[in-house]
Amino acid sequence: MPGFASRYGRSADVPTAEEIAAAVHARERTAVGVVTAALERIARVDPVLCAFVEVWDEDAVRQARVVDARVAAGERLPLAGVPIGVKGRYGLRAAGALVDAGCVPVGATAVPGPGTAWQTWGVGRYGRTVNPWRADRTPGGSSAGSAAAVAAGLVPLATGSDGAGSVRIPAAWCGVVGLKSTNGRLPSGDRTGLAAPGVLARCASDVAMYWRVMAGEAPAGSTTVPTAVWSPDLGFAAPDPEPVALARAAAHRLADTGALRLVRPDPPLRLDDPAPAWLALRSSPGTDPRVAQRIRAVNDQRLADLFHGTDLLLTPTTPNPPHSHDGPGERYSTALTWAFNLSGHPAISIPAGIGADGCPLGLQIVAAHGREDLLITLAQAAAMTNSRTPERNEPPCAGPSTESAPSTTPPGYACAPWT
């Protein structure tokens, strides 16, 4: 079977959002040309990837013409001509600031369909959404299509929403960067207050551009090295050894380059399992709201104590690698993420490395409320670290597969670069 790189082109060859905007403003490219190329790539790839539930060809080209006209009139649009995916059929409602900044929505990305309680999967217009690294594995969810589309290079940016890990989990399993904002900082339609808007991108610099547009804030340089606490399990989870080992190694790479300083908390961080609280707030049958209040109060205090003395908390993003399309079984892939939907802290998932199954895993970085700037700065530092490690720039599935490739190899998806 021919590899993805030979059939569809390499995702690493797709320009970043930052590069696209610069080229459009320099008149080296037009928004119409960029968007048309993205739509052509989606047409070639999406029948296999199933990342989109709708593609808006005519509307996208029409909006690209508007962007070109605005640029020609002298407007300085920070994201001029950048094609984006928006999460779900109603995701366009939350993308107004991005459109104003010059982005062109090209389609609605896949989210989970009905029929299962677990949400770490997606279904697009051609079928179930596959992980770009292994077609027999899920990309995660619920921002499944957004992560898959970004990882495969269909778009450089895609929006997401994160109510339990729905941005961070697919970011980890697809090898991209995924930011969950502080709860309540950006508009959200979630009545429970658990979900926060976020973004998925192939590089941290594009996340920085997204955040500058959405929050009006640029990551600020710091004269001090942030301190960070490492926790493999938050005191309650039972993660597999491999996600822990890869995330720990990624944390130490950051420390070794001077991007952060690892410290030991005293006493060690030990949260209560947030599962009963999260489920109660979602009004799941048989849950007790009083339990949610107790767990939330305990964990909020412990996290407040932690962030009073340190800047960052580092954990594996998930306790397990990507599961098959049959589901996670009795395992909560959200075990290490949904605590911060309850507490409201911002968090980002960055690539940590490749597991034995050939799929990526992530490092989760959590900061105090309102410190998205610090998270993005660390993600950019991690990108610089990985760019100096050649073997991490070209994941094993980036090149063409061969006729003798095992059946678990996807139909040759080019993988997202680490930088």
Q: Which residue has the tokens 């932690």?
A: 306
Q: Are 132 and 155 in contact (CB under 8 A)?
A: no
Q: Exactly one of 11, 142, 188, 205 is catalytic; which is it?
A: 142
pLDDT of residue 11: 57
Query: Confidence band (pLDDT; 50, 70, 90) for 218?
Result: confident
Q: Exactly one of 143, 146, 161, 166 is catalytic; which is it?
A: 166
CA dihedral 363, 367, 369, 371 (to 10 degrees): -100
- Helical segments of 85-140, H only: 96-100
Q: Are 41 and 154 in contact (CB under 8 A)?
A: yes
333 is catalytic: no
Residue 109, strand partner residues: 52, 87
Checking if the pLDDT of 32 tops 80, the result is yes
180 is catalytic: no
166 is catalytic: yes
Which residues, 6 or more positions from 272, have their beta carbon under 8 angstroms from its beta carbon? 236, 295, 298, 299
Whether pTM exceeds 0.85? yes
Alpha-carbon span 251 to 364, nearest angstrom: 9
Q: Give the pLDDT confidence of 100-143 residue by residue, as tens digits.
A: 999 999 999 999 999 888 899 999 999 999 999 999 999 999 99
What would the two tokens of residue 71 be? 């640029």
Q: Give the pLDDT confidence of 285-338 residue by residue, as tens digits.
A: 777 888 889 999 999 999 999 999 999 999 999 999 999 999 998 899 999 999
